Chains A and B, each alone.
Chain A
Amino acid sequence: MIKKAIHIVLPFALFFLFVFAVSKTNNPAASFQLLTTEENFVAGKPITLAFSTPSKIATADLFIIHSYGKTLLKSKNNNGQLLFKIPAIYSQKTGFTSWYLLQNKKTIVTGSFKITPNNNTPTLLENYLGPTTLLTGLNHFTMMVAIPTDSYDNPKEDNTTVLIKDQFLNDIRITAEKTKSFIAWKNIYSRTTVGKMLVSTECENTDSKEFETDIRPSIGKDFSISFSRNHKFADGNQITKLETSIIRDQFGNLVGDGTLVTFQITTKNNILLKTFAATINGIAIAQLLHPDHEDTYRVKGYVTGIAESKPIEISYNALINTFPYQFSEKNREITVGPLKSFMKQIIPDGIKVELKIFHHNNLIETKIAESSKGITTFYLLPPFYKEKEYQFEITTLGVTQKTEIKKYENN
Chain B
Amino acid sequence: MKIINNRNIYKTALILSFILISIFALLGLAKTLDYLNTGAERTSMLHLETESEDIYLPKVNWTKLDNPAREMEKNTLGKIERDYLFSWYVKNNALENNTSKGIDYYYTQNTRENLYRTINYNKSHEITIENTTIKHFPELEFYSEDGQLVVFTDKNVVEFQKLYQNKQLITSIQDTATYKVMMLLEDGFWRVRHLLKMKSEAFAPDTIKANPIYTVKNNQILQNKIPYTIKGINYYPKNSAWDTFGERFNKDTIAVDFDIMKKANLNTVRVFIQYGDFGKAKIIPEKLEKLKVLLDLAEAKKLAVIVTLFDFYSDYTIDSWTLTHRHAEQIVSTFKDHKAILAWDLKNEPNLDFENRDKDNVLSWLDHITTVVKENDPNHLITIGWSNSVEATNLADKMDFISYHFYNDMQHLEYETNKLLKTTKKPVVIEEFGVPSYGGMWNLWEGSIKKQAAYHQKMQTYFKKNNYSFMSWTLYDFPHVPDQVAGKWPWQKMRQKKFGFIDDKGNNKPAFKYISN
Interface residues, chain A, with chain B CB atoms under 8 Å away: 61, 63, 65-72, 87, 89, 93-98, 100, 102, 105-107, 112, 114, 128, 130-131, 141-143, 145, 147, 153, 155, 180-183, 185, 187
Query: With a CB–CB cut-off of 8 A, which chain B residues contact A142?
Result: 145
Given contacts A96-B199, A183-B151, is CB(A89)–CB(B121) below 8 Å?
Answer: yes
| Cβ–Cβ contact B146 & A143, under 8 A | yes
Nearest-Cβ distance from residue B116 to partner chain A, whole angstroms: 10
Query: In the bound complex, what is the Cα–Cα distance between A141 and B69 (angstroms)?
Result: 11
Query: With a CB–CB cut-off of 8 A, which chain B residues contact A143?
Result: 69, 144-146
| Cβ–Cβ contact B144 & A72, under 8 A | no
Residue B163 at the chain A interface, CB threshold 8 Å: yes
Query: With a CB–CB cut-off of 8 A, which chain B residues contact A95?
Result: 195-198
| Cβ–Cβ contact B197 & A65, under 8 A | yes
Interface 1/0 per residue, B120-131 and A, CB below 8 Å:
011001010101
B92-127 at interface with A (beta carbon < 8 Å): 95, 110-111, 114-115, 117-119, 121-122, 125, 127
| 10 nearest CB pairs, A to B | A130-B146, A69-B118, A143-B145, A68-B114, A95-B197, A67-B197, A89-B117, A181-B141, A181-B151, A96-B197
Interface residues, chain B, with chain A CB atoms under 8 Å away: 69, 95, 110-111, 114-115, 117-119, 121-122, 125, 127, 129, 131, 141-142, 144-146, 148-149, 151, 153, 159, 161, 163, 165, 169-171, 173, 175, 177, 179-180, 182, 184, 193-199
Interface of A is mostly: strand
Given contacts A94-B196, A147-B194, A181-B180, is CB(A72)–CB(B165) below 8 Å?
Answer: yes
Which single residue of chain B is at the shortest CB-CB distance from A131?
B146
Query: With a CB–CB cut-off of 8 A, which chain A residues contact B125?
Result: 71-72
Name 5 interchain pairs, CB-CB below 8 A, sorted by A. A70-B131, A105-B169, A105-B171, A128-B149, A142-B145
Query: With a CB–CB cut-off of 8 A, which chain B residues contact A105?
Result: 169-171
Which single residue of chain A is at the shortest CB-CB distance from B176?
A98
- The residue among B122, B175, B182, B194 with the most chain A CB atoms within 10 A of its own CB is B194
Given contacts A67-B196, A147-B194, is CB(A96)–CB(B146) below 8 Å?
Answer: no
Nearest-Cβ distance from residue A386 to partner chain B, whole angstroms: 64
Residue from A67, A112, A181 within 8 A of B153 (CB atoms): A181
Query: With a CB–CB cut-off of 8 A, which chain A residues contact B199?
Result: 96, 112, 114
Nearest-Cβ distance from residue B138 to partner chain A, whole angstroms: 12
Query: In the bound complex, what is the Cα–Cα distance between A258 and B358 (angstroms)?
Result: 71
Given contacts A63-B173, A130-B148, A145-B144, is CB(A182)–CB(B180) below 8 Å?
Answer: yes
Query: With a CB–CB cut-off of 8 A, which chain A residues contact B110?
Result: 153
| Cβ–Cβ contact B173 & A100, under 8 A | yes
Nearest-Cβ distance from residue A329 to partner chain B, whole angstroms: 66
Which single residue of chain B is at the shortest CB-CB distance from A106?
B171
Query: In the bound complex, what is the Cα–Cα distance between A285 and B184 (angstroms)?
Result: 45
Which single residue of chain B is at the shortest CB-CB distance from A129?
B146
| Cβ–Cβ contact B121 & A187, under 8 A | no
Nearest-Cβ distance from residue A143 to partner chain B, whole angstroms: 4
Residue from A61, A96, A100, A153 within 8 A of B198 (CB atoms): A96
Query: In the bound complex, what is the Cα–Cα distance between A347 and B290 (angstroms)?
Result: 86
Query: With a CB–CB cut-off of 8 A, which chain B residues contact A185?
Result: 69, 142, 144
Nearest-Cβ distance from residue B141 to partner chain A, whole angstroms: 4
Nearest-Cβ distance from residue A26 to partner chain B, whole angstroms: 15
Query: With a CB–CB cut-off of 8 A, which chain B residues contact A61?
Result: 165, 170
Given contacts A71-B121, A71-B125, A89-B114, is CB(A66)–CB(B146) below 8 Å?
Answer: no
Query: With a CB–CB cut-off of 8 A, which chain A residues contact B169?
Result: 105
Add 10 more A-B contacts to A67-B114, A70-B131, A70-B161 (CB < 8 A). Answer: A66-B197, A67-B196, A72-B170, A95-B197, A102-B171, A128-B144, A128-B146, A145-B144, A147-B194, A185-B142
Query: In the bound complex, what is the Cα–Cα distance between A384 and B141 (angstroms)?
Result: 85
| Cβ–Cβ contact B195 & A145, under 8 A | no
Query: In the bound complex, what is the Cα–Cα distance between A131 and B196 (angstroms)?
Result: 27
Query: With a CB–CB cut-off of 8 A, which chain B residues contact A145?
Result: 144, 149
Query: In the bound complex, what is the Cα–Cα distance between A67 and B95 (angstroms)?
Result: 13
Query: With a CB–CB cut-off of 8 A, which chain A residues contact B95?
Result: 69-70
Nearest-Cβ distance from residue A90 to partner chain B, whole angstroms: 8
Query: In the bound complex, what is the Cα–Cα distance between A141 and B70 (angstroms)?
Result: 12
Query: With a CB–CB cut-off of 8 A, which chain B residues contact A70?
Result: 95, 118, 129, 131, 161, 163
Query: In the bound complex, what is the Cα–Cα distance between A58 and B69 (angstroms)?
Result: 55
Query: With a CB–CB cut-off of 8 A, which chain A residues contact B198?
Result: 95-96
Query: In the bound complex, what is the Cα–Cα distance between A96 and B157 (angstroms)?
Result: 13
Query: With a CB–CB cut-off of 8 A, which chain A residues contact B151?
Result: 181-183
Given contacts A142-B145, A183-B151, is CB(A71)–CB(B182) below 8 Å?
Answer: no
Which single residue of chain B is at the shortest CB-CB distance from A93?
B114
Nearest-Cβ distance from residue B63 to partner chain A, whole angstroms: 15
Query: With a CB–CB cut-off of 8 A, which chain A residues contact B119?
Result: 69
Nearest-Cβ distance from residue A94 to partner chain B, whole angstroms: 6
Which single residue of chain A is at the shortest CB-CB distance from B169?
A105
Query: With a CB–CB cut-off of 8 A, which chain B residues contact A183?
Result: 142, 149, 151, 182
Query: In the bound complex, what is the Cα–Cα distance between A142 and B148 (angstroms)?
Result: 13
Which single residue of chain B is at the shortest CB-CB distance from A70?
B129
| Cβ–Cβ contact A67 & B179, under 8 A | yes
Nearest-Cβ distance from residue A61 to partner chain B, whole angstroms: 7
Query: In the bound complex, what is the Cα–Cα distance between A131 and B110 (angstroms)?
Result: 24
Query: With a CB–CB cut-off of 8 A, which chain A residues contact B121?
Result: 69, 71, 87, 89
Query: With a CB–CB cut-off of 8 A, which chain A residues contact B144?
Result: 128, 130, 143, 145, 185
Query: With a CB–CB cut-off of 8 A, which chain B residues contact A93?
Result: 114
Query: In the bound complex, what is the Cα–Cα distance between A128 and B185 (angstroms)?
Result: 12
Which single residue of chain B is at the shortest CB-CB distance from A72?
B127
Residue from A72, A87, A128 within 8 A of B148 (CB atoms): A128
Query: In the bound complex, what is the Cα–Cα distance between A68 and B148 (angstroms)?
Result: 23
Query: With a CB–CB cut-off of 8 A, which chain B residues contact A147?
Result: 182, 193-194
Query: In the bound complex, what is the Cα–Cα distance between A71 and B115 (angstroms)?
Result: 12
Nearest-Cβ distance from residue A170 to partner chain B, whole angstroms: 26
Which single residue of chain B is at the shortest CB-CB distance from A65?
B175
Query: In the bound complex, what is the Cα–Cα distance between A163 and B504 (angstroms)?
Result: 84
Query: With a CB–CB cut-off of 8 A, which chain A residues contact B173?
Result: 63, 100, 107
Query: In the bound complex, what is the Cα–Cα distance between A295 and B7 (angstroms)?
Result: 91
Query: In the bound complex, what is the Cα–Cα distance between A63 and B163 (angstroms)?
Result: 9
Nearest-Cβ distance from residue A14 to partner chain B, whole angstroms: 28
Which single residue of chain A is at the shortest CB-CB distance from B117?
A89
Query: With a CB–CB cut-off of 8 A, which chain A residues contact B117?
Result: 68-69, 89
| Cβ–Cβ contact A69 & B145, under 8 A | no
| Cβ–Cβ contact A98 & B170, under 8 A | no
Query: In the bound complex, what is the Cα–Cα distance between A297 and B409 (angstroms)?
Result: 106
Query: In the bound complex, what is the Cα–Cα distance between A182 and B163 (angstroms)?
Result: 32
Query: In the bound complex, what is the Cα–Cα distance between A130 and B197 (angstroms)?
Result: 28
Nearest-Cβ distance from residue A32 to partner chain B, whole angstroms: 15
Query: With a CB–CB cut-off of 8 A, which chain B residues contact A96?
Result: 177, 197-199
Query: With a CB–CB cut-off of 8 A, which chain B residues contact A153?
Result: 110-111
Query: In the bound complex, what is the Cα–Cα distance between A326 and B480 (angstroms)?
Result: 102
Query: With a CB–CB cut-off of 8 A, which chain A residues contact B177?
Result: 65, 96, 98
Which single residue of chain B is at the shortest CB-CB distance from A68?
B114
Query: In the bound complex, what is the Cα–Cα distance between A100 and B162 (angstroms)?
Result: 13
Which single residue of chain B is at the shortest CB-CB distance from A114?
B199
Which single residue of chain B is at the shortest CB-CB distance from A88?
B117
Query: In the bound complex, what is the Cα–Cα distance between A103 and B145 (angstroms)?
Result: 51
Query: With a CB–CB cut-off of 8 A, which chain A residues contact B127?
Result: 71-72
- The residue among A71, A94, A131 with the most chain B CB atoms within 10 A of its own CB is A71
Nearest-Cβ distance from residue B178 to partner chain A, whole angstroms: 8
Query: In the bound complex, what is the Cα–Cα distance between A95 and B180 (angstroms)?
Result: 10
Query: In the bound complex, what is the Cα–Cα distance between A384 and B161 (angstroms)?
Result: 95
Query: In the bound complex, what is the Cα–Cα distance between A128 and B69 (angstroms)?
Result: 14
Query: In the bound complex, what is the Cα–Cα distance between A147 and B182 (angstroms)?
Result: 10
Query: In the bound complex, what is the Cα–Cα distance between A94 and B180 (angstroms)?
Result: 12
Nearest-Cβ distance from residue B69 to partner chain A, whole angstroms: 7
| Cβ–Cβ contact A187 & B145, under 8 A | yes
Nearest-Cβ distance from residue B20 to partner chain A, whole angstroms: 53
Residue from B114, B163, B179, B180 within 8 A of A69 (CB atoms): B114
| Cβ–Cβ contact A182 & B195, under 8 A | no
Nearest-Cβ distance from residue A54 to partner chain B, whole angstroms: 23
Query: With a CB–CB cut-off of 8 A, which chain A residues contact B184?
Result: 128
Which single residue of chain B is at the shortest CB-CB distance from A142?
B145
